[in-house]
């Protein structure tokens, strides 16, 4: 270029020094120390980050601020650094120099990041998390299913992983950034319900049946395989909570049809521990109540009856601190309840009897006051007072359900009851959850169903008995396949049912029970996956000959 050799050397060396200095500054402003200490405004998000898995986890592999917020490629990195000059300007202006100002801007700041990640296909996430490097078979069941679905649908990381490093803003899911993206998170909307998908045809109840003796107690169970399951305290995790994406990260999977057990099997003890510790899903002090109860279940059948055996360890007495004397139901050391439902009930295959657990039921966060119950015109139709409040009910029995509690609205829909003729039509068509309960105090058996509320009456077609030996309880149930009684689900040996079991142990009552996830119950099906689909049958009852 006509320059002397000395000048060329000078510019060459100067270029190296300039580039080295420029790169040093770039790297310094990308460092964790700079991000966490240079600006007072970063202190609040830094505190949140310290509690998240990107900072500390079992593998020891973390991600610093720049890993998520600064691109690796030189061109996009330069663009991001130029954009950062605007942030310096706002720092000089003191736009978010107090926590109150920051909280006021939190949603706007989060939206800026969300838009960027949606536009770049979560580019920074994929520096570490790439589809091609994922071995779905090695992942937990929940992650494997969701990642496979996301890959098939062309989704990007941020669509599911909002708030993974920082606290989510209030009403974040109402942001226009996500408009239309979470519509499927609300299979039950805050609006009018349509009719159930199943045709409303009357169920064939069969002829009236009775069980003279508990046959199950006399059977030889040695050839019937045992299914080990774990009951746990569900706390205040209502069906509304399950469907609310801002409360429950699995709401998206649930809305796609995933069953609770697919994601959470194996986590029962952890969930129960959360409830006992009054964390996240519980507000009552449960004292030393055990959080989970291992139980083995055996199921058999013939052409007339379903037989079941239940075994679990007796627990130590743990008085409930919020009840005077610590005992809720002094007449019954335990109550054992079996519920059955089918595809006629919305969400039954996914959640089983959980479909009837609402946020406004007794002892739940939005339970109505006694004065409101007494003053309601529904007091003539629902057993609100002697039952101690709102009992379990199905979504189908209401015209409207509030899922997310927008602007202070109570979640649930206890007071949105359908007309009596509509309820009768649903009952006749089998849209209900069947219940059978054993009361250990007097050995009585109650049979009933859940639809508009929980109904119980004496039953002659279901028998229970229980005995304790060596600290282990063994209970037996004999149930006619078809009882001929309204509200008792007639069982068809060719169909699949959602089975749940609940244990009110240690004199418990109301929702303070241990429950199972929903289990698919079939009757001696040779190829369950071909007949009912993959991972739908957990209990395949054994045919016996008496």
What average pLDDT does the segment 119-137 reach?
87
Q: Between these two residues, 415 and 132, which has the higher pLDDT value?
A: 415
Q: Which tens digit of pLDDT belongs to each residue from 168-205?
A: 888 787 788 887 665 544 443 333 344 555 556 788 88
pLDDT score of 324 more than 90:
yes
Q: Tokens for 373? A: 């119950």
Give Cα separations from 494 to 305, 497, 528, 540, 546 (angstroms). Answer: 14, 10, 11, 12, 21
Q: Calculate mean pLDDT across residues 14-21.
A: 71
Q: Which pLDDT score is estimated for 246?
A: 78
Sign of CA dihedral 506, 509, 513, 517: positive
Phi, psi of 487 (to 5 degrees): 95, -10
Would the pLDDT of 270 be above 90?
Answer: yes
Q: What angle do CA 413, 415, 416 make, to 5 degrees?
A: 65
Neighbours of 53 (CB within 10 A): 13
Mean per-residue pLDDT, 77-95: 78
Specify the pLDDT at position 302. 97
What is the average per-residue pLDDT within 336-362? 95
More confident residue, 57 or 481: 481
**Mean residue pLDDT across the chain:** 88
Question: What is the predicted pLDDT for the residue at 252?
Answer: 82
Q: Which residues pair with 120 in a beta bridge?
A: none
pLDDT of 40-70, one tens digit each? Answer: 778 888 888 888 888 888 888 888 888 888 8
- Checking if the pLDDT of 162 tops 90, the result is no
When pLDDT is averaged across residues 379-408 and rounded to a whole number, the result is 90
Prediction pTM value: 0.80
Lowest mean pLDDT among 75-79, 419-423, 434-438: 75-79
pLDDT (tens digit, 9 = 90+) per residue, 484-532? 998 999 999 999 999 999 999 999 999 999 999 999 999 999 999 999 9
Instruction: Say if residue 139's pLDDT is above 80.
Output: yes
Say what the pLDDT of residue 185 is: 41
Contact 412, 420 (CB under 8 A): no
Q: What is the pLDDT of residue 194?
A: 44
Q: What pLDDT shows up at residue 196?
A: 52
The mean pLDDT of 287-311, rounded to a whole number, is 97
Tell whether the model's pLDDT for residue 425 goes beyond 70. yes
Q: At residue 310, does pLDDT exceed 80?
A: yes
Separation CA 326–CA 320 (nearest Å): 4
CA–CA separation, 249 vs 255, rounded Å? 11
Mean pLDDT in residue range 409-428: 95
- The per-residue pLDDT for 186 is 42
- Banded model confidence at residue 1, pLDDT cuts 50, 70, 90: low
Calculate mean pLDDT across residues 316-325.
Answer: 95
* CA–CA gap between residue 201 and residue 430 (Å, rounded): 8
pLDDT at 217: 96
pLDDT at 385 exceeding the cut of 80: no
Nearest to 345 by CA among 357, 332, 329: 357
Percentage of the chain modeled with pLDDT above 70: 94
Reading the block at residue 244, the tokens are 């609310």
Rounded to an integer, the average pLDDT of 269-295 is 95
The pLDDT confidence band at residue 249, using thresholds 50, 70 and 90, is confident
Mean pLDDT of 155-175: 85
Residue indicated by tokens 């779905």: 136
């Amino acid at each position: 270029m006509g320059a002397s050799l000395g000048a060329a050397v000078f510019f060459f060396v100067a270029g190296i020094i300039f580039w080295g200095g420029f790169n040093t500054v770039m790297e310094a402003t990308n460092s964790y120390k700079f991000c966490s200490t240079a600006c007072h405004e970063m202190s609040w998000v830094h505190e949140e980050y310290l509690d998240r898995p990107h900072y500390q986890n079992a593998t020891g592999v973390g991600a610093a601020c720049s890993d998520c917020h600064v691109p690796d490629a030189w061109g996009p990195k330069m663009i991001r650094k130029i954009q950062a000059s605007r942030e310096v300007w706002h720092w000089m202006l003191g736009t978010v120099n107090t926590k109150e100002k920051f909280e006021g801007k939190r949603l706007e700041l989060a939206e800026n990041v969300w838009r960027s990640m949606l536009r770049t296909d979560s580019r920074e996430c994929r520096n570490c998390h790439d589809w091609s490097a994922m071995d779905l078979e090695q992942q937990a069941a929940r992650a494997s299913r969701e990642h496979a679905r996301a890959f098939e649908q062309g989704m990007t990381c941020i669509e599911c992983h909002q708030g993974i490093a920082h606290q989510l803003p209030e009403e974040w899911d109402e942001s226009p950034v996500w408009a239309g993206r979470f519509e499927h998170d609300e299979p039950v909307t805050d609006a009018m319900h349509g009719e159930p998908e199943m045709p409303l045809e009357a169920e064939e109840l069969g002829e009236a049946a009775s069980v003279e003796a508990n046959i199950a107690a006399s059977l030889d169970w040695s050839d019937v395989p045992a299914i080990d399951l774990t009951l746990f305290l569900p706390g205040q995790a209502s069906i509304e909570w399950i469907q609310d994406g801002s409360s429950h990260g699995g709401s998206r999977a649930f809305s796609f049809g995933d069953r609770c057990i697919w994601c959470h099997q194996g986590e029962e003890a952890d969930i129960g521990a959360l409830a006992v510790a009054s964390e996240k899903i519980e507000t009552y002090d449960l004292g030393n109540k055990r959080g989970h109860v291992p139980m083995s279940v055996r199921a058999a059948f013939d052409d007339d009856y379903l037989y079941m055996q239940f075994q679990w360890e007796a627990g130590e007495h743990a008085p409930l601190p919020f009840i005077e004397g610590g005992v809720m139901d002094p007449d019954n050391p335990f109550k054992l309840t079996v519920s059955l439902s089918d595809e006629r009930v919305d969400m039954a295959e996914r959640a089983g009897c959980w479909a009837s657990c609402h946020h406004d039921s007794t002892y739940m966060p939005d339970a109505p006051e006694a004065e409101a119950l007494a003053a309601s015109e529904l007091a003539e139709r629902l057993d609100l007072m002697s039952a101690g409040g709102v009992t379990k009910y199905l979504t189908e029995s209401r015209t409207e359900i509030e899922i997310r509690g927008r602007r202070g609205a109570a979640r649930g829909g206890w007071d949105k009851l359908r007309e009596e003729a509509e309820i009768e039509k649903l009952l006749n068509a089998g849209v209900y959850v069947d219940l059978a309960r054993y009361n250990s105090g007097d050995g009585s058996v109650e049979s009933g169903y859940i639809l508009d509320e929980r109904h119980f009456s004496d039953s002659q077609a279901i028998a229970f008995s229980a005995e304790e030996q060596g600290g282990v309880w063994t209970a037996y149930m004999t149930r006619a396949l078809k009882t001929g009684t309204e509200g008792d689900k007639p069982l068809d040996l060719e169909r699949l049912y959602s089975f749940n079991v609940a244990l009110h142990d240690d004199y418990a009552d109301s929702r303070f029970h241990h429950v199972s996830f929903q289990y698919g119950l079939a009757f001696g099906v040779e190829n369950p996956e071909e007949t009912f689909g993959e991972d739908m049958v957990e209990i395949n009852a054994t045919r016996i000959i008496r």
